[in-house]
Structure 1
Amino acid sequence: MDNMVVNLPNIPARDGLGCAVDHLAINQQYIRPEFSLYRKNNNGNGLAQVETSASGRGALVGVCLQGGHRRQLFKGRSSSLHDFEPGSVYLRNFSDDYRADLTEPFDFLLLEMSSEYLQQLSLETGKPYNNEMVNLTGFKDPVLSHLLNALIPILAKPDESSALFVDEMVTVISSHILGSYGGAGLVAPGRVLGLAPWQEMRAKEFIRANLDKDISISDVAAACGLSRSYFIRAFRAVTGYTPHRWLLTQRIEQARHLVQTTTTPLAQIATLCGFADQSHLTRNFNQIVGISPGKLRRSVTLQS
């Protein structure tokens, strides 16, 4: 048989979510062992196709960041069309094959949760994780949409993202998904949220002792002998703050003390208090104190 040269189609490489990489205008990711965040944007660069085979890797939830997106889903010999508005959400179970044609531009913030993470979280909330979690496309869930949108800055400025904040948000989002779509309840009816005095003291001491470190919800919850999901809600019920917000206020208080009582450079104060850099400190300081650390230091100098 004579040798033949066959021109094969130029099939673009695909990422772990089945997206053609060269069709993406924005392709950001934030990877952790238990979960991953993605920003995927196609500005109309041709037909985009997404395809993944069934696996046990968990679930994917996404929120649409711009309108005008449409996708055609294929299941066996049937197909269905779905339109997305800004804020529309979709939930995808990796235990099913997934194939879709994305015929319009899209911009999505996506959260992938591993099967192990969902199983552990569902045990913490009292019910087993259902591997047959429902698949939903282009539906409305204002709570879930709001929570997912809050994760956008993590991908835009990962160096300024606190692990405590990321863990806190992903735990809340995952708990909401399990409670609403996965068959797992969040808290047993009639259960009163709270912390024992020693647990509240332990949590606050642990956070204060690690202001310059990127601690996680798991670290603080373990110090109190509690699950992550319960600790987040109980801490807020007792203090009026989420763990991340309380951490931020403590960092700002320490920074204010150093600004007012020392001549330590502001860039060094930012590092000592757990901020990414001086501009990160200044933005948060302005927001909470109402004045920049530089102006505060100058006012102290003028008074002395």
Structure 2
Amino acid sequence: DYRADLRGAFDFLLMEVSQPFLIELAQEHGWRGGAVDLACHAGDTDLILLRLVSVVEPLLQKSSEASPLFLDQLGTTIGIHLIERYNRATNLESASQGAALSRPQLALAVEMLSSNTAGNVRVADVAQACGLSRGYFIRGFKKATGKAPHQWILSQRVEQARGLLMKTGMSLADIALICGFADQSHFTRVFSASTGLPPGAWRRATGNAGSPARFSECEK
């Protein structure tokens, strides 16, 4: 139960996180001993949680951009933060971060993720195929590749898009669809964040003018 005494207009987002989920996270991420019992810090401002939750709001507005893989990792990140900051138990011990995935495990994970670049795959499914818990898999995958699974998929999409921008005259909308982005706007945001240039500008910078008749008018 909770209570808030507020005056004037306000917005709020209510998120419910189950106790079994938090306990599972604690076990998966190497915390041994103690229970997960979160304390309420009334009046505190948690800027980290605010930023994490702020990511959720746009996804509610445009759910087509939210891949199951991304939502899975976002929920995990929020849960870990809650445990680290608000858990009353003082005897949780952090275990070692674990090793990178073995070559066979990494090959299997890459194969599964590569065949689902649209993000329609859950971390838990890939982890299970590798014979690992979700938390151990995420840590092992990041240690082996330098990227979390969702970040790795985005990098693969961008790399595929770079090839199409350089070698074809396809429109940005078509490239976005082929590479697994929700739409051209989503493609432009991710590509710009990765390369520092919007797709159209990057294409021109590489010297590929393409076939102007095939480009959409809104390409930049």
Q: Shorter-chain TM-score: which interval?
A: 0.7 to 0.9
Amino acid at match of 2:64: D
Q: Determine if contact 2:36/2:83 at 8 Å carries over to the other structure.
A: no
The structural deviation recorded for 1:276 is 0.8
Mark the runs of 5 or more structure 1 residues left unpaired by the alignment: 1-96
Does 2:16 match 1:108?
no
Point out the structure with the larger helix share: 2
1-side partners of 2:48 and 2:124: how far apart? 24
- Report the equivalent of 2:208: 300
Amino acid at match of 2:75: V
Does 2:66 match 1:169?
no
- Report the equivalent of 1:178: 83
Amino acid at match of 2:132: L
Which of 104, 117, 124 is the equivalent residue of 1:218? 124
Describe the superposition over 1:153-202 as per-residue Cα deviations: whole angstroms up to 9, x where unpaired: 323433222322221121022123234433484742x4534222222222
- Report the equivalent of 2:100: 194
Q: Which has the higher contact order (CA 8 A, sep 6+)?
A: 2
Point out the structure with the larger strand share: 1
The structural deviation recorded for 1:130 is 4.3
- Report the equivalent of 2:213: none
The structural deviation recorded for 1:297 is 4.6
User: Which TM-score applies when normalising by structure 2?
Assistant: 0.75
Amino acid at match of 1:270: A
Q: Determine if contact 1:164/1:217 at 8 Å carries over to the other structure.
A: yes
Kindly tell me the number of residue pairs found equivalent between the two proteins.
Answer: 206
Larger Rg, first or second structure (1 or 2): 1
Secondary structure of 1:202's partner? Answer: helix
Mark the runs of 5 or more structure 2 residues left unpaired by the alignment: 211-220
Identity %: 42
Residues 72-221 of structure 1: matches in 2 within 5 Å? 97-125=1-29, 127=32, 130=35, 132-182=37-87, 183=89, 185=92, 187-188=94-95, 190-221=96-127
2-side partners of 1:167 and 1:292: how far apart? 28
Amino acid at match of 1:114: S
- Report the equivalent of 2:179: 273
TM-aligned CA distance change 1:144 to 1:300, over 3 Å: same
TM-aligned CA distance change 1:145 to 1:129, over 3 Å: farther
TM-aligned CA distance change 1:154 to 1:186, over 3 Å: farther
Describe the superposition over 1:277-302 as per-residue Cα deviations: whole angstroms up to 9, x where unpaired: 11211222222233333344553246
Which of 223, 228, 248 is the equivalent residue of 2:154? 248
Amino acid at match of 1:242: A
1-side partners of 2:76 and 2:200: how far apart? 36
User: Which TM-score applies when normalising by structure 1?
Assistant: 0.57
